[in-house]
């Protein structure tokens, strides 16, 4: 068994975000990988107008998922759920999708389908450059309130992302064909728990934890235990 992690929006260096949980899984003999998302500028080409977008993110994750026949649990966070919806569809090696504070779209929906008429206060949108990002001054209080010890390192990993990813509709929905579990983060200040619970109705199973937006940083043991539980199931 292996785990493929898919990180959320406006950050880079997925391996860093998932490392506390990945290290715990490694102690149990489970390998993990966190593919880079091109729309976050992680694949060389800069994000923005004419830069890599949602299709490139899907292709990058799907390439990783299809690189091995080993049974694979896909663990996705936030925007990662939009990417994995399409990237994991029809991949025989994928045995389970675990969604953490994640968007869970059906075919035809995009990230913008779940947004209000105005950007969230913690986002900075620049239509001239075709990018968006998290406001550093609001990031810790919104997303890391229960793990401030990692704040300095996390802030160095914020990234501008191609704005085009917000309007690209998904073409497939892995959760319709692959067993799925949704982890609701009850103290999340970025993706409200009420929204997560709505998404969770589309999953096969639901677990709730008293955590903020990044439980794999604040409570990595709980997340690692859940990964092992869904893998055994």
The order of strands in the sheet holding 94-100 is 31-33, 2-6, 72-77, 94-100, 180-185, 205-209
**Contact partners, residue 46, CB within 8 Å, separation at least 6:** none
Q: Report the pLDDT value the prediction gives residue 176, as an integer from 0 to 100.
A: 77
Q: Report the pLDDT value the prediction gives residue 177, as an integer from 0 to 100.
A: 86
How does pLDDT run across 164-199, given as a tens digit for each residue?
A: 999 999 999 997 789 999 999 999 999 999 999 999
- Tell the CATH superfamily of the 2-232 domain: Alpha/Beta hydrolase fold, catalytic domain (3.40.50.1820)
Q: Report the pLDDT value the prediction gives residue 118, as an integer from 0 to 100.
A: 87
Rama region for 41: left / alpha / beta (φ>0; ψ in -120 to 50; rest)? left
Domain assignments of the chain as residue spans, ordered by start:
2-232
CA 92 to chain centre: 21
- What integer is the mean pLDDT of 124-132? 97
- What integer is the mean pLDDT of 192-214? 97
Q: Report the pLDDT value the prediction gives residue 159, as an integer from 0 to 100.
A: 98
- Per the document, the length of the chain is 233
How does pLDDT run across 47-101, given as a tens digit for each residue?
A: 999 999 999 999 999 999 999 999 999 999 999 999 999 999 999 999 999 999 9
Q: Report the pLDDT value the prediction gives residue 90, as an integer from 0 to 100.
A: 94
How does pLDDT run across 129-169, given as a tens digit for each residue?
A: 999 999 999 999 999 999 999 999 999 999 999 999 999 99
* CA–CA distance, 15 with 22 (Å, rounded to integer): 8
**110 pLDDT above the threshold of 80:** yes
Q: Report the pLDDT value the prediction gives residue 120, as an integer from 0 to 100.
A: 93
Q: Report the pLDDT value the prediction gives residue 193, as an integer from 0 to 100.
A: 98
Average pLDDT, the chain: 97
Q: Report the pLDDT value the prediction gives residue 175, as an integer from 0 to 100.
A: 78
Nearest-Å Rg of the Cα atoms of the chain is: 16
Q: Report the pLDDT value the prediction gives residue 233, as an integer from 0 to 100.
A: 85
**9 pLDDT above the threshold of 90:** yes
127's tokens: 């239509």
């Amino acid at each position: 068994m292996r785990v493929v992690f898919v990180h959320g929006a406006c950050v880079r260096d997925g391996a860093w975000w998932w490392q506390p949980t990945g290290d715990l899984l490694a102690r149990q003999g489970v390998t993990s990988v966190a593919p880079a998302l091109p729309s976050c500028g992680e694949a060389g080409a800069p994000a923005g107008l004419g830069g890599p977008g949602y299709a490139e993110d899907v292709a990058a994750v799907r390439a990783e998922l299809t690189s091995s026949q080993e049974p694979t649990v896909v663990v996705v966070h936030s925007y990662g759920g939009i990417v994995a919806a399409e990237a994991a569809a029809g991949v025989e090696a994928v045995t389970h999708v675990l969604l953490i504070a994640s968007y869970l779209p059906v075919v035809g929906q995009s990230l913008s389908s779940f947004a209000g008429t105005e950007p969230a206060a913690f986002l900075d949108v620049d239509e001239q450059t075709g990018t968006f990002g998290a406001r550093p001054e609001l990031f810790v209080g919104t997303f890391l309130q229960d793990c401030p010890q990692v704040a300095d390192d996390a802030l160095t990993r914020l990234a501008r992302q191609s704005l085009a990813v917000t309007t690209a509709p998904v073409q497939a929905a892995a959760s319709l064909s692959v067993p799925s579990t949704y982890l609701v983060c009850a103290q999340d200040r970025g993706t409200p728990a009420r929204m997560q619970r709505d998404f969770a109705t589309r999953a096969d199973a639901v677990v709730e934890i008293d955590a903020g937006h990044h439980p794999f940083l604040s409570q990595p043991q709980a997340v690692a235990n859940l990964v092992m539980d869904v893998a055994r199931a």
